[in-house]
Structures are given as structure tokens and as C-alpha cells.
Structure 1
Amino acid sequence: MTNKHIGSSLDDFLKEEGMFEEAAAHALKRVLATQIAEAMDAEGLTKTAMARRMKTSRAQLDRLLDPNNEKVQLDTVQRAASAVGRTLRIELA
């Protein structure tokens, strides 16, 4: 018996297994958390200073920076981007 996944892409495999949406959301959150953390480092911002700039709590910032927490509100991400002098771009592809 041959493996039907040989030669297919990871995206194809995840779609066939019904896991693509979840994997894509997790990957997106991981990238976003990394970009925010790197921007904070570039600005020399501590978590406390970043939370103050965002006008939020350290706990909410920790949730934003947690790559495993995918439940983050768009306005929180926008405030984080603004706090490090960046803009948030979102598009449907």
C-alpha cells in the first residue's frame, strides 16, 4: 500500500486532516508574538514599560506575547504595534 501523502505539501496534508486552520492560526500568533518581542527589544522596552505605553496590564501583554495563546483581540495587537512605532497590516489572501 502506498502512502497518499508522499509528494504532497504540508499544507495539503493539514487540509486533508482538517488541521490547516488551527495550524495556520497558531503559526500566525507565534510570528506576531515574536515580532512584537523583537520590536520591544529594539526599542529597549521592558514588559512594564510596554504595558504602560499600551495603556494595559502586564498580564494582558503577557497573553499577547504568549505564542500559545491565540485568543488576542485585534485592538490589543494594534495598541502593541503603535507602542513600538509600527503599523498593523491585515489582509485576506
Structure 2
Amino acid sequence: MNRHIGSNFDDYLNDDGLIEEVSAAALKRVIAWQLAEAMKAQKVSKKALAERMHTSRTAVDRALDQNDAGMTLATLASAARALGQHVEVRLVPNADPRLATT
């Protein structure tokens, strides 16, 4: 019998040990999207952002790549700062205590 019948997706991810990986990837995608939206709103090119960050255009491309899970928080924070923003990461308690590991 399938142990996941009647459970939610978070239960499945937690049981398979994937929830942290999926959450981190989702966070990176959201931040990359927000950076791209801020660039559009401010009419800032990748080249201009790279200059503001004192880095290369390649580093900006990586920061904006929603699938590049290896991007550091420091680089994302630098990009945000160059756009007049900041990155906020915080710990919050699980809404569902079943998701806590034992």
C-alpha cells in the first residue's frame, strides 16, 4: 500500500528527505525572479548591474539563473543591494510539527 495516499506534498518531501533541497531551490528561484523584476522596474541592464556590484556580467547571469542552486547568499545580497533592496532570510517554526525531523 502507498504510504503517501491521503498525505500532502510536504509530507512526501519530508519522508523522502527532499524538503530542504526543494525549499532552497524555491527560495533561489523567487529571489532571482525578484531581482529580474527590480531590474526591469528600474531599467537596469545586466551590464549596469554588474558594474554596480563590481563583478562580471557572468556573475549577474548566474544570480539571475533560477536554476543555479550554487549561487551564494552573499552574491544575491550584493545584487539586491545594487538595486536598493536587501535579502532577508529567517528561520520560522514549522506550521506542521510532523515535518520536524527526529
Question: Same fold, TM exceeding 0.5?
Answer: yes
Alignment of 1:20-59 (within 5 A): 20-59=19-58
- Per mean C-alpha deviation after superposition, the further-off stretch among 16-25 and 53-62 is 16-25
Total equivalences in the alignment: 92
Equivalent in the alignment of 2:11: 12
Take 1:10 and 1:63, find their aligned partners in 2: how far apart are those partners?
Answer: 29
Take 2:74 and 2:20, find their aligned partners in 1: how far apart are those partners?
Answer: 22
Residue deviations 1:14-57 (CA, integer Å, cap 9, x gap): 11112111111111111111010001101001111111111110
The CA RMSD measured in Å over matched residues stands at 1.2
Q: Which runs of 4+ in 1 moved over 6 A?
A: none
Shift of residue 74, structure 1, vs aligned partner: 2.2
Equivalent in the alignment of 1:73: 72
Aligned residue type for 2:59: Q
Secondary structure, counterpart of 2:38 in structure 1: helix
Equivalent in the alignment of 2:88: 89
Give the TM-score of the pair, scaled to structure 1: 0.90
Give the TM-score of the pair, scaled to structure 2: 0.83
Shift of residue 7, structure 1, vs aligned partner: 2.2
Any unmatched runs of 5+ in structure 1? none
Residue deviations 1:54-74 (CA, integer Å, cap 9, x gap): 111000111111111111122
Take 1:38 and 1:52, find their aligned partners in 2: how far apart are those partners?
Answer: 18
Any unmatched runs of 5+ in structure 2? 93-102
Aligned residue type for 2:54: K
